[in-house]
Amino acid sequence: MTAASAGPSLSIDRLIGELNALAQISEADPPVVTRVVFGEADLRARAYVRGLCEQAGLTVTVDSIGNTFARWPGADSSLAPIGTGSHIDAIPNAGLYDGCVGVLGGLEAIRVLKQLGFTPRRSIELVIFTAEEPTRFGIGCLGSRMMAGVLTPTQALALRDKDGRDLEELRTHAGFSGPLESVLQPKGRFHQFLELHIEQGPILEAEGLDLGLVTHIAAPASQRIVIEGEGGHAGGKLMPGRKDALTAAAELILALESAAKSTGAIDTVGTVGICEVFPGAVNSVPSRVLITTDVRDIDRARRDGVLLALDEAIKGVSQRRGVTITTELINADPPITCDPAILDALEASAKAAGKSYKRMVARAYHDSSFVACFAPTAMLFIPCRGGVSHRPDEYASPAWIGSGVHVLARTLSALAA
């Protein structure tokens, strides 16, 4: 038996109920979802999902950073498994679908295939990645970065949260132990990997499409930039002699926007998401400003061209305004091209299921970006209302979720067979 009849067997009511139950596990009152990695809500959410996996008859293991693997053993244990999954941590003031659809939807796809009597040749493994969101440590995709070796154990141990607590203290307190070196995954750890996710953009809904088959995943280059000027009284510090750190920062922000627009490519974006001003008084000239920049594209050379333009702007502003500007590169991850064979399998499954689709780009960060370092990878998008995400009003309809899980189940069965 195959996944051809997966649609009728899919229990969308069960899945929606589990998504809603998971959303109740939060550091904030509903409908707000907040689950910061290694926090109390995060640990309760992990336990809830692990229980569902064990009820489904999957074998669950956890690595030393908390990445969780729920395996449905295949007929040939010598073969590398097919992977699927996402994350369940949530930024403050988030919604209930980001990441969670990929985890619980992946679990539902496995349950559907089991109910149909399908026997996979390759094992199918559901992965719940640790800390896709950068909330605690300021860096996203912690678990998958370490799996890929992009973040080394030494670098990971240097991470601290805003309260000064380091990774070792927090993971130990959360019950995760063992050498961090063991998190690293070898090439071929998965034969193929497929992540189901809400689009986090407006395109699919606007075009009335059921699904997006992701061909490329954009990746950010992020920097911290500190501008040191000269403070003083807002009345006493005359304009000709000022070294205002905030006006210098304003020039850099506009320079970044201009550089991103100048590429002429819709896929180039530049953002300043943080601007911290010292001393922050209404009658004081700012003496120090911290800004963070985020530049993304699916074309690495084009993205890096924006960074070079920003570097030139930094030199000019520093000289012209008499301020000192220092930069720190947080990360500069490579954009990803998704695996053609998985995309072809997704397309065949979408056609067989009678679902409309388009090939498209993922502009947000995902764990798949790092899984692609050690396994062929692709993503499957479903619409979300208004393109809204990372907010309590984030919403994906049961019909959209059902379409995604239906096609995910078909594709997993094809890849695992």
The per-residue pLDDT string of the chain (417 residues; one tens digit each, 9 = 90 and over) reads 344 444 546 889 999 999 999 999 999 999 999 999 999 999 999 999 999 999 999 999 999 999 999 999 999 999 999 999 999 999 999 999 999 999 999 999 999 999 999 999 999 999 999 999 999 998 999 999 999 999 999 999 999 999 999 999 999 999 999 999 999 999 999 999 999 999 999 999 999 999 999 999 998 999 999 999 999 999 999 999 999 999 999 999 999 999 999 999 999 999 999 999 999 999 999 999 999 999 999 999 999 999 999 999 999 999 999 999 999 998 899 999 999 999 999 999 999 999 999 999 999 889 999 999 999 999 999 999 999 999 999 999 999 999 999 999 999 999 999
CATH 3.40.630.10-classified regions of the chain: 3-218+335-416
Q: What is the pLDDT of residues 155-189, one digit of tens each?
A: 999 999 999 999 999 999 999 999 999 999 999 99
> Which two three-digit tokens encode residue 260?
């991103």
Q: Supply the CATH classification number for the domain 220-332.
A: 3.30.70.360
SS3 call for 129: strand
Cα(256)–Cα(15) distance, integer angstroms: 43
Cα(197)–Cα(394) distance, integer angstroms: 13
Cα 89 to chain centroid, rounded: 10
Please report where in the chains the tokens 């479903």 appear, as a residue: 382
Which is it for the CA torsion 114, 117, 118, 123, positive or negative?
A: positive
Instruction: Please give the torsion angle defined by the CA atoms of residues 180, 186, 187 and 191, in that order, rounded to the nearest 10 degrees.
Output: -100
SS3 call for 79: coil
pTM for the full predicted model = 0.92
Query: Using an 8 Å Cβ cutoff, are 218 and 296 in contact?
Result: yes
Q: With both helix axes pointing from N to C terminus, report the angle between 300-321 and 245-262 in degrees, rounded to the nearest 10.
A: 150
Architecture of domain 3-218+335-416: 3-Layer(aba) Sandwich (3.40)
Cα(303)–Cα(166) distance, integer angstroms: 32
Query: Using an 8 Å Cβ cutoff, are 194 and 412 in contact?
Result: yes
In DSSP terms, 377 is beta-bridged to 193
262 contacts: CB under 8 Å, gap ≥ 6? 309
Query: Using an 8 Å Cβ cutoff, are 306 and 259 in contact?
Result: yes
Backbone φ, ψ for residue 74 (5° rounding):
-95, 175
315, amino acid identity: K
Please work out, in degrees rounded to the nearest 5, the angle formed at the alpha carbon of residue 287 by the alpha carbons of 285 and 290. 120
SS3 call for 93: strand
